């Protein structure tokens, strides 16, 4: 057994690494030796941790480190021209640092600003709606010595819609600090759990696990210490609703966490904030301070006996997989963010081995509102299985990108007209891990009604059968809604999706780390017009293998979009594929011998 | 008695101790779930290799991380699962560089053994030709990351006396590899170092100087193994017809070893000649195809432009194309150059090498000399291949049994000895 104080120290490791990364812009050999010594771990183990996270560098990342979003929505806008502008202006290629170490330019996956793309972070300050010209201006302003704080664009909330009737609005209306907590005076923890259970609130991180049940499990696991962790990693490409909640309603979140703490008997809460949202940290810290000053956090809150609760923010360091709850916990414990084998669920053995509740920002924000408006009123909103409202982050080909609070049960077709979708052709619903929707789905409703099991949903071979069986089935999304019109290349979007998973796989399971890589190559082959029917069949077969045999949700869902796109847009693939042939179309003898020709030419000319 | 639960595996009922791990429960009942990362009673189980993928109550999951409970319904051996497990092994072979004939661990390798066990002849996935680090820096050990399957055994099991990790995963995604810490490694005893090598299920961790101590042929998996049935594709059977079957053979980027093996069946060759007639082949020294052939047998992969031409011609002129030997199937030894730039290879061979003449300054080239390709390609990355006969070289009986199988529609089973790849 490792002694306890060792573990507690470990929890500080990511913070220490951040300090050095911020100060020096990279972590060098000496730092590694020193930190390894201090934390009593081997250097190799430490390098394993550092190299896991996208935002930690072994080489100087530049005094001004630019991370340009390369995900599909950014590419829909000005990614290519902005990238070129940065490269030209700085005289470096993507992935490099200027000679004078002033600027570093790196790609990064979705940074939660899909409603104002193309966007970049410079030293974690956001810059939105970039054009080539704006990129050049930003660089020259930095060179002139203007502060990032003064020139960055603080992201707009873009709240585009909430139910007309304020009584039906859950999130986007004014909130008075302490209103929910006040009610705890008359409620036992069991009452709170019962209420959450009855409200049918389920995980808004995308897995939709019943929140009340999760809390009950945690409550029933006796322990001297328990934790509430708010999952603010919001890594799913295309979602940014948590960003808006964190920016405008941090009090609602903190109150939700405190109520969760009261219900399960936890005294400490952490907000795992993705590094991409660093600019929100002050806002959240201030809100925590406000709660403390109002004695709504701390000891014996509101005089309720044994109700002690505190909240801290923990900064992530750039890894999508750390949104997976067990990986998130590993990351907080100062380890590589690898999902566990789920021998134990976090409610049994979570953070530091103690029972832990991990909930999404939106889930936690809903709780004080249920207390506020009462269970009965809450249940009258939305549908039978999914009462209440849902936040959706909308981006892509539509006139009104932004966050929508809709009552569960809205028809997809109505939602599309609400967002001003122009000639919608394909929708990436629920992010890259979600599914592709097409016209055949437009009459389905956004809700949790009549759901079918996963196994059925991804087994359809025939689009007509799909349309028939799925027409009455509800659609649930953790929050991401990306819409594309007919002019967009579906295959390019799928390539972006697959490459995202190639980069973000934690590397444990071969089907996920290499399977997705091989799929990405296959998509290239098809994109270039060299694929045939056999390739299409292989994509399907391989996708199922990855789905079946991966350890965590990342691998299990990484091929969803690909599979559903193949089912619903067969014509998109057919127009790119050739007849079956005995010869591999992608092999090109001139290309394969080009290297040789150049070498011979070079040698001949050197010795002439 | 409350600790005993009733479970169903592949339709049969069993009793087991509640909470016990499924792989072990199956084993106790004489049922086999293949594993790679699973060993001893590491708790929690590593659950990294995914080879024990099974179906529990309709959902796929890894057997080693599943604890048995009352009423659970498990499937181990339905065709889909067997296929998935085989695919995972094939993917591991494709992902790393597994040149068994040149590997110190051959014969003692758990993965190689599973490959035999599952009758893998070729990986359905294209080879990645991984270029990860081969680390010789440590005084005692070699860390060959291109063979590592990231099972995590070494990470979890090998620690110094003061509890520090000697091995660790670094990076993530497709670039993930295991890194060795030289300083910590130096603190291990020799026994511990040997232990590290022995728990590595493949040849990624090697202790210098002793890797070949145990002779080939006397290693853990050298004996045993089952016979294999060659599955014949319905569409690719030959109907017996009058006259002899026409066979062509060629050696591309190979060593002719496979052709030597062809001749190794001794007097049986006479029987073979009863039913086949050779067309273009080094055996007959016929240089050009004179007619359409029933079967083409190809040894070696494609290293230059001529290999490509010949292979394409074979595909056109032979109704059934069979490739034999590792070089043809996955590039083999010649493909070891795929990790080095072509320029470096050529310069080493013709200009800078120890055996080149002093002052050598040309790389032979002429329009009559075939051009080298950027890398060595397995045959099936160039043309469609109908059958694969693995081995380095394949056993003569294996080759002829497959050929006869295809030609005469007779089923022959191939013994483990004949099927062995190395
Ligand atoms: C690869 C992966 C990434 C995830 N990313 C997030 C995330 O960014 N935010 C989130 O709230 N949940 C994420 N989840 C879901 C979490 O594992 C977990 O289910 C969730 O935080 C639980 O909270 P909820 O029940 O309130 O949704 C992710 C899951 C997987 C498998
Ligand atoms: S499925 Fe992918 S991300 Fe999840 S544990 Fe396996 S390798 Fe890691
Ligand atoms: S080096 Fe060997 S033991 Fe270690 S992870 Fe790789 S395959 Fe497993």
CATH of the domain at A535: 1.20.1440.230
Q: Which CATH number goes with the domain that contains A280?
A: 3.40.50.11540
pLDDT mean for each 10 residues of chain B (422 residues):
86 91 91 86 81 92 91 93 94 91 87 88 90 88 93 91 93 93 91 91 89 76 66 56 83 94 83 86 91 94 96 95 94 92 90 81 87 95 93 88 80 72 60
Residue A126 shares a structural domain with residue A197: no
CA gap A250, B235 in Å, rounded:
66
Examine the domain organization and report whether A168 and A294 are in the same domain.
yes
- Regarding the beta carbon of A551 and ligand 2, being less than 6 Å apart is answered yes
pLDDT tens-digit map of B299-341: 999 999 999 999 999 999 999 999 999 999 999 999 999 999 9
- Are both A353 and A428 inside the same structural domain? no
Give the pLDDT band (50/70/90) at residue A604: confident
User: Which pLDDT tens digit goes with each residue over A343-372?
Assistant: 889 999 999 999 999 999 999 999 999 999
**What confidence tier does A1 reach under pLDDT thresholds 50, 70, 90?**
very low
A25: in domain: yes
- Contacts of residue A430, defined as CB under 8 A and 6 or more positions apart, other chains included, come to A206, A236, A476, A477, A478, A479, A480
Q: What range does the domain containing A262 cover?
A: 161-379
For position B360, what pLDDT does the model report?
74
Task: With beta carbons less than 8 A apart as the criterion, state whether A215 and A260 touch.
Answer: yes
**What mean pLDDT comes out for the span A419-441?**
93
The token duo for A67 is 């991370």
B220 at A interface, C-beta within 8 A: no
B165 vs A42, A455, A593: nearest CB = A42
Residue given tokens 């295991």 in the structure block: B178
Beta-strand relationship, B276-278 and B302-304? unpaired
Confidence at residue A501, expressed as pLDDT on a 0 to 100 scale: 96
CA distance A587 to A286: 60
Task: Give the range among A244-253, A387-396, A419-428, B216-225 with minimum mean pLDDT.
Answer: B216-225
In the predicted model, is pLDDT for residue A518 greater than 80? yes
Task: Say if residue A42 is exposed, middle or buried (CB neighbours under 10 Å; 0-12, 13-18, 19+).
Answer: buried
pTM: 0.93
pLDDT of residue B223: 66
CA pair distance A601, A81, nearest whole angstrom: 35
Predicted local confidence at residue A585, as pLDDT: 87
Residues A209 and A247 in one domain: yes
The answer to the question of residue A384 being in a domain is no
**Residue A554 CA to ligand 2 centre (angstroms):** 6
The values of phi and psi at residue A298, to 5°, are: 120, -145
> What residues in A contact B369, CB-CB < 8 Å?
none
pLDDT of residue B106: 87
Q: A547 C-alpha vs ligand 2 centroid, how far in Å?
A: 11
Torsions phi, psi for B170 (to 5 deg): -125, 160
The answer to whether B183 touches A36, Cβ cutoff 8 Å, is no
Ligand 2 centroid, distance to B55 Cα (angstroms) = 19
- The domains found in chain B, sorted by start residue, are 4-77 (3.10.20.740), 88-207 (no CATH), 234-408 (3.40.50.700)
Domain end position, chosen among A341, A360, A379: A379
Contact B95 A514 (CB under 8 A): yes
Chain A nearest-CA distance from B146, in A, is: 13
The rounded Cα A24 to chain-centroid distance in angstroms is 28
Q: What is the pLDDT of residues A260-314, one digit of tens each?
A: 999 999 999 999 999 999 999 999 999 999 999 999 999 999 999 899 999 999 9
A223 lies in the same domain as A110: no
Main-chain dihedrals φ then ψ at residue B329, nearest 5 degrees: -80, -45
Nearest-by-CA chain B residue for A49: B170
Beta bridge partners of B169: B178
User: Which residue is closest to B21 within chain A, CA to CA?
Assistant: A343
**CB neighbourhood size of A460 (10 A):** 18
pLDDT bin (cut points 50, 70, 90) of residue A607 is low
Is residue A361 domain-shared with residue A475, that is, in the same domain?
Answer: no
Q: Which of A379, A398, A430 is the last residue of a domain?
A: A379
Domain identity same for A422 and A365? no
Question: Measuring CA to CA, which residue among B112, B386, B337 is closest to residue B231?
Answer: B386
pLDDT at B102: 84
Look at B160 and A607 and tell me if their CB atoms are within 8 Å: no
- Report the candidate in B382, B368, B260 with the shortest Cα–Cα distance to residue B313: B382
The pLDDT value recorded for residue A5 is 45
How far apart are alpha carbons A375 and A199 in whole angstroms?
6
Based on the fold, state whether residues A561 and A496 are members of the same structural domain: yes
Ligand 1 nearest atom to the CA of residue A206, by list position: 27
pLDDT at res. B119: 85
pLDDT score of A2: 39
Residues 6+ positions from B34 with CB-CB distance below 8 Å: B51, B52, B85, B114, B117, B118
Atom number, ligand 2, closest to the C-alpha of residue A506: 8
Q: What percent of chain A has pLDDT over 90?
A: 87
Say if residues B327 and A568 touch (Cβ distance below 8 Å).
Answer: no
pLDDT at A428: 95
| For A3, nearest residue in chain B (alpha carbons) | B163
Q: How confident is the model at residue A498 (pLDDT cuts 50, 70, 90)?
A: very high
Is A541 domain-assigned?
A: yes
Residue A3: its pLDDT value, please? Answer: 42
Specify the higher pLDDT residue, A397 or B401: A397
Q: Whose CA is nearest to atom 8 of ligand 1?
A: A234
**Among B249, B285, B191, B290, CA closest to B394:** B249
Does A110 fall in a domain? Answer: yes
Average pLDDT, chain A: 93
Report how far residue A432's alpha carbon sits from residue A414's, in angstroms, rounded to the nearest whole number: 23
Residue the block writes with tokens 């050779």: B278
Whether residue A533 is contained in a domain is answered as yes
Structural element, H or E, at residue B315: helix B305-317
| Residue A338 to residues A2, A14, A15, B36, B280, Cα–Cα distance (Å) | 20, 15, 18, 19, 56
> How many Cβ pairs within 8 Å bridge chains A and B?
191
Number of domains in chain A: 4
- pLDDT at site B137: 85
pLDDT of residue A6: 45
Same domain, A558 and A443: yes
pLDDT at B239: 53
Pair (A290, A333) in one structural domain: yes
Are residue A351 and residue A426 in the same domain, yes or no? no
Q: Is residue A597 part of a domain?
A: no
Contact A97, A103 (CB under 8 A): yes
- pLDDT, greater one: A607 or A183: A183
Q: Which atom of ligand 1 is nearest to the CA of A209?
A: 25
Are A119 and A46 within one domain? no
Is residue A385 a part of any domain in this protein? no
Residue A106 lies in a domain: yes
| pLDDT of res. B224 | 62
What span, in angstroms and rounded, lies between the C-alpha atoms of A547 and A457?
Answer: 13
A205 lines ligand 1 (CB under 6 A): yes
Contact A313, A271 (CB under 8 A): yes
User: Residue A133: how many CB atoms within 10 A of its CB?
Assistant: 12
Residue A122 in this model has a pLDDT that exceeds 90: yes
Indicate whether A459 pLDDT > 80: no
Helix (H) or strand (E) holding A264, with range, is helix A250-264
pLDDT digits (tens, 9 = 90+) for B70-96: 999 999 999 999 999 999 999 999 999
């Amino acid at each position: 057994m490792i002694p306890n104080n060792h573990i507690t120290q470990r929890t500080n490791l990511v913070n220490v690494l951040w300090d050095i990364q911020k100060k020096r812009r990279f972590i060098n050999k000496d730092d590694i030796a020193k930190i390894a010594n201090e934390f009593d771990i081997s250097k190799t183990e430490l390098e394993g941790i550092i190299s896991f996270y996208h935002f930690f560098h072994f080489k100087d990342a530049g005094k001004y480190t630019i991370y340009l979003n390369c995900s599909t929505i950014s590419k829909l806008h000005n990614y290519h021209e902005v990238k070129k502008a940065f490269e030209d202006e700085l005289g470096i290629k993507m992935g490099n640092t200027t000679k004078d170490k002033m600027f570093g330019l790196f790609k990064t996956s979705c940074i939660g600003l899909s409603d104002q793309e193309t966007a970049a972070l410079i030293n974690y300050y956001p810059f939105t709606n970039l054009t080539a010209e704006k990129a050049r201006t930003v660089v020259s302003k930095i060179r002139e010595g203007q502060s990032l704080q003064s020139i960055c664009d603080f992201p707009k909330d873009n709240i585009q819609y909430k139910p007309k009737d304020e009584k039906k609005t859950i999130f986007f209306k004014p909130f008075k600090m302490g209103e929910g907590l006040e009610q705890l005076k008359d409620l036992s923890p069991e009452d709170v759990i019962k209420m959450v259970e009855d409200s049918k609130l389920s995980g808004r991180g995308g897995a939709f696990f019943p929140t009340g049940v999760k809390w009950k499990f945690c409550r029933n696991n006796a322990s001297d210490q328990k934790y509430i962790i708010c999952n603010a990693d919001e890594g799913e490409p295309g979602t940014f609703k948590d960003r808006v909640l964190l920016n405008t309603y941090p009090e609602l979140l903190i109150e939700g966490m405190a109520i969760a703490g009261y219900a399960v008997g936890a005294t400490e809460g952490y907000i795992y904030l993705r590094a991409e949202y660093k600019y929100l940290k002050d806002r959240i810290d201030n809100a925590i301070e406000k709660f403390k000053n109002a004695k709504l956090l701390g000891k014996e809150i509101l005089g309720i006996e044994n109700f002690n609760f505190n909240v801290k923010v923990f900064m992530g360091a750039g890894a999508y997989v750390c949104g997976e709850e067990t990986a998130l916990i590993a990351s907080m414990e100062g380890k590589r963010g690898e999902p566990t084998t789920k021998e134990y669920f976090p409610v049994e053995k979570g953070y530091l081995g103690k029972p832990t509740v991990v909930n999404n920002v939106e889930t936690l924000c809903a709780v004080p509102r249920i207390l506020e408006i009462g269970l009965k009123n809450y249940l009258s909103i939305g549908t039978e299985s999914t009462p209440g409202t849902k936040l959706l982050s909308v981006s892509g080909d539509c006139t009104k990108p932004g966050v929508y609070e809709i009552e569960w049960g809205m028809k997809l077709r109505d939602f599309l007209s609400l967002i001003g979708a122009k000639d919608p052709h394909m929708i990436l619903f629920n992010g890259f891990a979600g599914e592709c929707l097409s016209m055949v789905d437009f009459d389905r409703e956004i809700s949790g009604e009549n759901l079918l099991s996963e196994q059925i949903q991804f087994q359809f071979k025939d689009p007509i059968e799909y349309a028939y069986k799925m027409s009455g089935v509800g659609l649930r999304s953790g929050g991401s809604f990306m819409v594309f019109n007919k002019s967009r290349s579906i295959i390019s979007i799928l390539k972006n999706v697959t490459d995202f998973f190639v980069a973000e796989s934690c590397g444990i399971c071969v089907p996920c780390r290499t399977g997705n890589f091989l799929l990405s190559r296959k998509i290239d082959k098809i994109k270039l017009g060299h694929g045939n029917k056999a390739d299409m069949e292989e994509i399907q077969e391989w996708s199922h293998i990855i789905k079946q045999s991966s350890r965590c949700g990342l691998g299990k869902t990484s091929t969803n979009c690909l599979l559903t796109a193949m089912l619903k847009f067969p014509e998109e693939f057919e127009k790119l594929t050739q007849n079956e042939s005995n010869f591999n179309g992608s092999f090109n003898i001139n290309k394969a011998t080009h290297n040789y020709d150049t070498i011979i030419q070079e040698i001949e000319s050197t010795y002439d | 008695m409350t600790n005993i639960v009733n479970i169903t595996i592949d339709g049969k009922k069993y009793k087991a101790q509640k909470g016990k791990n499924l792989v072990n429960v199956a084993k106790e009942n004489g049922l086999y779930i293949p594993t790679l990362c699973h060993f001893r009673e590491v708790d929690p189980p590593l659950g990294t290799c995914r080879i024990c993928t099974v179906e529990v109550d309709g959902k796929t999951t890894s057997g080693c991380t599943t604890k048995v409970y009352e009423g659970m319904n498990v499937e181990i051996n339905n065709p889909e699962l067997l296929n998935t497990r085989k695919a995972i092994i094939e993917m591991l072979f494709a992902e790393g560089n597994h040149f068994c004939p040149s590997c110190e661990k051959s014969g003692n390798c758990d993965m190689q053994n599973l490959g035999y066990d599952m009758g893998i002849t070729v990986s359905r996935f294209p080879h990645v030709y991984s270029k990860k680090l081969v680390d010789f820096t440590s005084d005692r050990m070699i860390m060959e990351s291109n063979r590592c399957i990231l099972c995590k055994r070494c990470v979890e099991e090998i620690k110094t006396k003061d509890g520090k990790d000697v091995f660790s995963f670094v990076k993530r995604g497709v670039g993930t590899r295991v890194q060795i810490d030289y300083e910590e490694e130096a603190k291990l005893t020799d026994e511990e170092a040997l232990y590290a090598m022995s728990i590595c299920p493949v040849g990624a961790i090697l202790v210098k100087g002793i890797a070949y101590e145990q002779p080939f042929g006397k290693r853990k998996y050298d004996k045993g193994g089952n016979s294999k049935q060659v599955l014949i594709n319905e569409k690719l059977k030959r109907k017996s017809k009058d006259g002899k079957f026409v066979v062509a053979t060629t050696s591309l980027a190979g060593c002719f070893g496979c052709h030597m093996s062809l001749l190794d069946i001794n007097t049986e060759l006479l029987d073979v000649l009863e039913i086949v007639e050779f067309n273009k082949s080094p055996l007959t020294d016929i240089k050009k195809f004179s007619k359409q052939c029933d079967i083409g047998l190809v040894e070696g992969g494609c290293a230059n432009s001529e290999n490509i031409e010949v292979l394409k011609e074979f595909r056109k002129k032979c109704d059934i194309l069979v490739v034999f030997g590792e070089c043809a199937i996955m590039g083999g030894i010649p493909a070891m150059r795929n990790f080095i730039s072509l320029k470096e290879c050529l310069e080493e061979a013709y200009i800078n090498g120890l055996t080149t003449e002093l002052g050598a300054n040309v790389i032979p080239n002429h329009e009559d000399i075939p051009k080298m390709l950027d890398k060595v390609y397995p045959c099936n990355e160039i043309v469609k291949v109908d059958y694969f006969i693995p081995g380095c070289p394949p056993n003569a009986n294996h080759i002829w049994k497959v050929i006869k199988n295809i030609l005469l529609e007779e089923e022959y089973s191939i013994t483990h000895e004949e099927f062995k790849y190395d």
